[in-house]
Chains A and B, each alone.
Chain A
Amino acid sequence: MSKVRGGYVRPVDFKHGHVDMSHGGGGRAMAQLIDELFLREFDNPWLRAGNDAASVTVPPGRVVIATDSHVVSPLFFPGGDIGRLSVHGTLNDVAMAGGRPLYLAASFVLEEGFPLADLRRIVASMAQAARDAGVPIVTGDTKVVERGKGDGVFITTTGVGAVPEGVDIAGDRARPGDAILVSGTLGDHGVAIMSLRENLSFESTIRSDTAALHGLVAAMLAAVPRIHCLRDPTRGGLATTLNELATQSGCGMVIRERDLPVKPQVVAACEFLGLDPLYAANEGKLVAIAAMEDSEALLAAMRAHPLGRDAALIGAVVEDPYHFVQMQTTFGGRRNVDWLTGEQLPRIC
């Protein structure tokens, strides 16, 4: 004889289970997944309230909002995973506007058949990253697509931040004579990811640099509140970021190859694959542009922070109606550092 236990729900099988269409169907299975996974991991009063929208308060003054979709493959890589990355990516976009991140929202697109064990690992990693950053994930959404219509999991995060009084950071504020700084070694994330691509398997000790940069930015702003531009050189790397800033600000840039911080392992991997570290992605680095007279104080503040230990002054903003980014090569010549064309693809010759 069956003894019906009132209110009993069989727990989600995170060990062996897989995402199925019912997890996005709006029914009990979805409610259960939210309850046993997202709510448990992200736990905070806004989520516990159980509303579709989180009701939050923001301090007076300017607010910045940023959103970022994450579609990385592979989902787990040396130094991180898509969960950590999705928290850091958006926090950094908020921080690059000078904002102190306050809240995050997260939206998941799951592919039917995705192992629940992997999903739990990703969500736990996101929760840890958010806790470390001191920024709660206050609202979210989950959808499931049929097998073959997604790549395991896509995560979109949105962040809200408050900008302190007196801070005015934007991509169009670089001026001729300004100093260009980077916070650390270039290309670590791009090479870490590439080393795992199925057709490229090579062994490397390089780990993704994925990190939340708002702490570093706060330290930089404390030293130099009038920083002109901040940007994180993610996809397309340093080269692409400098070209964006040069175009937005209507000026040119000249950087010095010998001053660019790049790990020897990254140089080696790029040599081997026919790639250029200037175009490889970073997930825990920033480019800062400030008046030359502020550069020393800014560099010192960056180097005093754990995420800016390898910071360097790499060049200067110049007048140039064509908005070229040029580089003085270690070799003694000068060349363009152009926009990335399409994807960075390996060469055969």
Chain B
Amino acid sequence: MKFIDEFRDGALARRLSSAIEREANGKLAYNLMEFCGGHTHAISRYGIADLLPSNVRMIHGPGCPVCVLPIGRIDNAIELAARPGLILATYADTMRVPASKGLSLLKAKARGADIRMVYSSADAIRIARENPEREVVFFAIGFETTTPPTAVAIRQAQALGLSNFSVFCNHVLTPAAITNILESPEVRQLGTVPLDGFIGPAHVSTVIGSQPYEFFAEEYCKPVVIAGFEPLDVMLAILMLVRQLNEGRAEVENEFTRAVCREGNVKAKALIAEVFELRSSFEWRGLGEVPYSALRIREAFRTFDAEARYGIAYRQVPDNKACECGAILRGVKKPTDCKVFGTVCTPDNPIGSCMVSSEGACAAHYTYGRFKDIPVVAVAS
């Protein structure tokens, strides 16, 4: 298919693979973090790790919107959905995330809550217009990619005078999460997590541009290469990172020039600024409370803020003790370092959030790569 096959070409992949092999210094180790779940998914789905030399290691980052959502926020959404007459509109990814008391949105739905899966915030608006006698709440999650559509929905609701529509806002910010990882004791002081460079977000960067990453490159001396979500994008970004490291450079480079510019999407950014403001702190699963890392709805749009409308009270809920999602999201541990990985915790019965979304490090490894943990000789004819 046009515009797809070009970015998944096997012959080009082999050439890039040998270029990386030639470029990577055998005496050095290259520990590269792909921030985004989209990259994690691509790496696992296309078997990119098979095409890298052994001293180039990919560390999965926290950029999976579903994975970083803390249990307390899912609990809040379930409480909302349990209100009589209320319709909760949500992206499908959040449906299976485990919450307190063995619940999830999917299970709450089975028990009678009116929860509807939507593809976009516009669908939530449509549901509100079609059900004027019902309250409709859009469970807004995600990084900067999904934030502008939520802003559009809020503005549209205002223009339409939709009094039965509100948004439970859980939008989070990428740069704050990267700072948090770079500032973590494991990276900064202990050096237990070697982290040499970043593959920067694809879709997020189409909105925020490449400029916000310049700070990391400069301040922490870590190269960043922004890359698209196609497998060849990822391979090329790895090659560019290896080159930067070999040459002692720490710059922001843009592999994803077909969609990302330095300034990003100016209109979308203005829209975000108009509707949202920074929260002083927000809890992330795995990272804990991260200052100035999330958005809330501005006073001017308060009538559309579900938190204000329903007096939602946030309660912190600790993760399951055996679950290593926190360490995995920070790159401190690999999925296979977790005792419950693939035993108690599987995609069908997830304990931690990393096992839920197909972009989560655990789900991606379980689904696409777990045969690699076991020596199986299998060759196709």
Q: Which positions in A face B, CB cutoff 8 Å?
A: 199-200, 252, 254-256, 258, 264, 267-268, 271, 273, 292, 315-316, 318-322, 324, 326, 328-336, 338, 341-342, 345-349
Contact = CB atoms under 8 A, between A and B. Distances in A.
Interface string B47-79: 111110000000000001100000000000000
A178 B65 CA distance: 42
24 contacts: A199-B123, A264-B1, A273-B119, A292-B381, A316-B381, A318-B378, A318-B379, A324-B378, A326-B371, A329-B46, A331-B8, A331-B48, A332-B10, A332-B14, A332-B17, A336-B369, A338-B366, A341-B367, A345-B117, A347-B358, A348-B65, A348-B142, A349-B36, A349-B145
Contacts of B14: 332
Interface of B: 1, 4, 8-10, 13-14, 17, 36-38, 41, 44-51, 64-65, 91-93, 95-96, 106, 116-119, 123, 141-143, 145-146, 203, 231, 347-348, 357-359, 363, 366-371, 374, 376-381
Contacts of B8: 330-331
B378 to A, nearest CB: 4
Nearest to B363: A341
A324 B51 contact: no
A316 B145 CA distance: 41
Contact of A322 (B17, B96, B359, B374): B374
A258 B11 CA distance: 13
A254 B379 CA distance: 7
Closest 4 CB pairs of A and B: A333-B47, A254-B380, A345-B92, A341-B347
Contacts of A333: 46-51
Contacts of B96: 342, 345
A116 B45 CA distance: 48
Given A271-B1, A347-B357, A332 B146 contact: no
Contact of B50 (A315, A320, A322, A332): A332
Nearest to B45: A335
B227 to A, nearest CB: 14
Nearest to A338: B367
Contacts of B36: 349
Given A345-B93, A349-B203, 18 more contacts: A199-B123, A267-B4, A271-B4, A316-B380, A318-B378, A330-B10, A331-B8, A334-B50, A336-B368, A338-B347, A341-B348, A341-B363, A342-B96, A345-B96, A345-B117, A347-B92, A347-B93, A349-B93
Given A199-B118, A336-B370, A336-B371, A252 B65 contact: no
A349 B380 contact: no
Contact of A199 (B10, B37, B116, B146): B116
Nearest to A335: B368
A181 to B, nearest CB: 13
A96 to B, nearest CB: 24
Contacts of A268: 1, 4
Contacts of B45: 329, 335
Contacts of A320: 376, 378
A200 B119 contact: yes
B47 A332 contact: yes
A335 B13 contact: no
Contacts of B146: 348
Nearest to A321: B376
B380 A331 contact: no
A41 to B, nearest CB: 36
Give the residue among A258, A268, A333, A336 with the most B Cβ atoms within 10 A: A333
Nearest to A273: B119
A28 to B, nearest CB: 38
B13 A331 contact: yes
Contacts of A326: 371, 378
